[in-house]
Amino acid sequence: MLEMPIYAYLLVFIIPAYIANSSPVILGGVYPLDGGAMFSDKRRIFGDGKTWFGFFGGFFCGVLSSIVLAHILPGTELDIFAGKAEYYILSGALMSAGALFGDLAGSFLKRRAGARWGESTFLDQLTFLIGALAFCYFLNLTLVFRPENISFLVFVTYFIHRIANSAAHYYGLKKVPW
């Protein structure tokens, strides 16, 4: 039997971050995280697009996806944590929180750079991934953190993010396709 390519494992590993980052599009929209407050530069801290419902809903959905993975993957070729449900859930919770905080950091930086709400930048596609990976770095997942694997995740994430956002825009879930 052939061994599963590393890229398949990486894609399974990153699912909770993708779910956490995409769920606020459906679950958000109420009560901005910054409450309309301005930063010292007289610009919104995060903007209307970052809400309490979206943040906590995204976290919940990301963790829920890791629980689902912990139940369906053990014993399969894609079992990335040797059947240890607690590893799936811990990494999923950390990546979900990291993805959401990374996305917030991107919004904060976009506001400081003067980007308007809805304006596309490279930050839209990658800060959630950087946050997700940073939050689970201490788990010592050396296979994930090899330069070639990080490069793969950055490359794939950029395109998955663009395609998913275009689809969400097409179906009326987002006002802009990025």
pLDDT score, position 1? 36
Count Cβ neighbours within 10 Å for each residue of 73-111 and write b for 16 or more, e otherwise. bbeeeebbbeeeeebbbbbbbbbbbbbbbbbbbbbbebb
According to the model, what pLDDT value does residue 172 have? 86
Return the pLDDT at 2: 43
Residue 39 confidence (pLDDT): 95
Name the residue ranges covered by the structural domains of the chain: 6-170
DSSP character for 173?
S
Alpha-carbon distance values, 30 to 19, 24, 88, 125 (Å): 19, 10, 30, 23
pLDDT at 143: 79
82-85: long-range contacts, CB 8 A cutoff, minimum separation 24: none
| pLDDT of the residue at 5 | 87
* pLDDT, position 114: 82
Please give the span between the terminal C-alpha atoms of the chain, in angstroms, as a whole number: 41
Q: Which residue(s) pair with 54 in the sheet?
A: none
Query: Locate tokens 């912990």: which residue?
Result: 70
Encode the chain (178 residues) as per-residue pLDDT tens digits. 346 789 999 999 999 999 999 999 888 778 999 999 999 999 999 988 899 999 999 999 999 999 999 999 999 999 999 999 999 999 999 999 999 999 999 989 988 888 776 666 666 778 999 999 999 998 878 778 999 999 999 999 999 988 988 898 898 888 777 6
CA torsion 72-74-78-79 (nearest 10°) is 130
